[in-house]
């Protein structure tokens, strides 16, 4: 099925460093979402983006909806240990407004 | 609890057996979704309910998979004659409304980990 291309697949960083990850698609999306998933849990919504060019922050997290509507990025500033987990981008195409299409995830590991 | 709940949390079954997975959405949420997450992968859409009807079943991988929702609340995902490739985490989500707006935010349950031996 349709999937988003998310990169990087994994990141190993030092506490305090900034993190950046992104997603691209060959299709136009009208909504971009970023989720975080902890082990044994379902994904939790971090940031939602609804307009091309939109830049939204949630604490140390910042995400943008690309102008072309085919990409989005998520930045985490000054990482802390609780940021460890798997981050997923997700989106809705115009045609499939209800279902979400997910990226493959970025696994973030923080070295103390 | 106020969140989406799923049961069982873990299910181990033998190849060829049928399994039922249950989802209790957040009270008042009209839309309910089932996704499948294979090891190390993103989530794959299976089916979506608006009330008790399923306008989009496009993600169900085969006719061995079916789902129903009763009373606009609880949903059951049934997998018949399970195969080893069915092993995955099955996640349920619910939202207040559907249509792509803010009210359509999907809240996920913890999932059911299915292992088919």
CA-nearest residue of chain A to B39?
A104
Interchain CB contact of B109 with A (< 8 Å): yes
Interchain CB contact of B28 with A (< 8 Å): no
> Which of A48, A99, A102 is facing B42, going by the closest CB pair?
A102
Stronger pLDDT, A85 or B100, i.e. the higher one: A85
Size of interface A-B (CB pairs under 8 A): 72
Please report residues of B whose CB lies closer than 8 A to that of A100: 33, 35, 43, 45, 106
Least confident of A27-31, B83-87, B89-93: A27-31
Inter-chain CB proximity A90 and B105 less than 8 Å: no
Mean pLDDT, chain B, as a whole number? Answer: 92
Inter-chain CB proximity B42 and A6 less than 8 Å: yes
Q: How far is B41 from chain A (nearest CA, A)?
A: 5
- For the cut 90, the answer to whether the pLDDT of residue A2 exceeds it is no
Q: How far is CA B46 from CA A78, B36, B59, B77, in A?
A: 37, 7, 4, 10
What's the confidence (pLDDT) of residue B79? 98
What's the confidence (pLDDT) of residue B97? 74
Interchain CB contact of B23 with A (< 8 Å): no
What's the confidence (pLDDT) of residue A99? 83
Sign (positive/negative) of CA torsion A81, A36, A1, A68? negative
Place of tokens 């975080």: A36
Q: How far is B80 from chain A (nearest CA, A)?
A: 22
Report the percentage of chain B scoring pLDDT > 90.
77
> Which of B42, B98, B108 is facing A98, going by the closest CB pair?
B98
Model pLDDT for residues A47-102, shown as the tens digit of each residue: 999 899 999 999 999 999 999 999 999 999 999 999 999 999 999 887 667 788 99
**Phi, psi (deg, nearest 5) at residue B98:** -140, 155
- For the cut 60, the answer to whether the pLDDT of residue B93 exceeds it is yes
């Amino acid at each position: 099925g349709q999937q988003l291309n998310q990169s990087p697949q994994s990141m190993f960083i030092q506490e305090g460093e900034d993190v950046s990850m992104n997603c691209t698609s060959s299709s136009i999306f009208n909504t971009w979402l970023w989720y975080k998933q902890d082990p044994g849990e379902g994904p939790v919504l971090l940031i939602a983006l609804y307009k091309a060019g939109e830049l939204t922050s949630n604490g140390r997290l910042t995400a943008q909806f690309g102008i072309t509507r085919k990409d989005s990025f998520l930045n985490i500033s000054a990482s802390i240990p609780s940021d460890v987990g798997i981050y997923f981008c997700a989106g809705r195409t115009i045609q499939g407004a209800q279902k979400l299409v997910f990226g493959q995830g970025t696994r973030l590991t923080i070295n103390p | 609890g106020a969140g989406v709940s799923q049961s069982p949390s873990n299910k181990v079954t033998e190849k060829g057996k049928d399994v039922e997975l249950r989802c209790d959405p957040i009270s008042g949420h009209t839309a309910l979704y089932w996704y499948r997450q294979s090891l190390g992968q993103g989530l794959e859409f299976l089916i979506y309910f608006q009330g008790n009807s399923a306008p989009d079943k496009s993600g169900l991988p085969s006719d061995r998979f079916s789902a129903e929702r009763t009373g606009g609340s609880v949903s059951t995902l049934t997998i018949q004659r399970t195969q080893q490739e069915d092993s995955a985490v099955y996640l349920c989500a619910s939202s207040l409304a559907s249509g792509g707006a803010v009210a359509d935010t999907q809240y996920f349950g913890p999932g059911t980990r299915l292992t088919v031996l």
